[in-house]
Amino acid sequence: MYVRKTQTLVDDIDHRVDSMKNNAVKQLATDVEVEIGSPLHAEIKLAIENSLWQEAPDLKDKMPDGWLPDEDVTAEFKAPDRRTVRHYFADQTGSKIKIPPKFNRYRDVVIEETYWTPLVVDWLDRQHNTELEKQKISDAYREISNQLVSFMSKHASLNTAIKEMPELKLYVPDSYIEKLERQENRIKSKPKSPTTKDDVEVDVEALTRAAIAHRLTTADKV
């Protein structure tokens, strides 16, 4: 069946690329999650408490629990030579985080380097590396999206686009492929090689690698 190129089709391809990007980024997040009750969780909690009570550290362990606000906090780990990491801390281990009575719930708690333990430093390093990797992935998929949008602008139909670049199928939603494959007695023709200055350069290998990586990471969810 003839599938005309429409803006909806181009948008759906773009959305699929974006979905692949989000999935790839999500896979990275598991490496920096803080498991409640873990040693890392306990050390982050202690760093927050020490920062909150730095003006009166001797009172931290003397304040009755009934006087302490029952609040979760957002902590900012800041250092001059590092990317700031914001972490929403919720304690579900049964013991309240020790927060001063006059704590401003609308302000983040800034955790200075002096309160970082080696375990916290390792976690922050992984956070930093993960953010860099996320940016690389986002940039790569943005380039794929731009190339595919430009490539589709040179075609009037999905049929001719896939004939010229079969790898495009990896990024086209199944509903369009199903329509395409309903056509009977297709006319098989060999795609022409680009010959004009208006031809769009597409990194086919990068497209294929990204699509295969997406399939591998989502295989166990299908």
109-111 and 85-89: which strand pairing? unpaired
Q: Angle, nearest 10°, between helix axes 118-152 and 39-52?
A: 100
Cβ atoms 35, 93 nearer than 8 A: no
pLDDT digits (tens, 9 = 90+) for 128-177: 888 889 999 999 999 989 989 999 999 999 999 999 888 888 899 989 98
Q: What is the DSSP string of 83-148?
A: --EEEEE---SSS-----TT--TTSPEEE-GGG--HHHHHHHHHHHHHHHHHHHHHHHHHHHHHHH
Residue 47 has pLDDT above 90, yes or no: yes
pLDDT score at 212: 52
Sorting pLDDT into bands at 50, 70 and 90, what band is 201? low
- CA separation for the pair 105, 72 (Å, rounded): 8
Mean pLDDT of 55-63: 80
Q: What angle do CA 75, 78, 84 make, to 5 degrees?
A: 80
pLDDT score at 117: 94
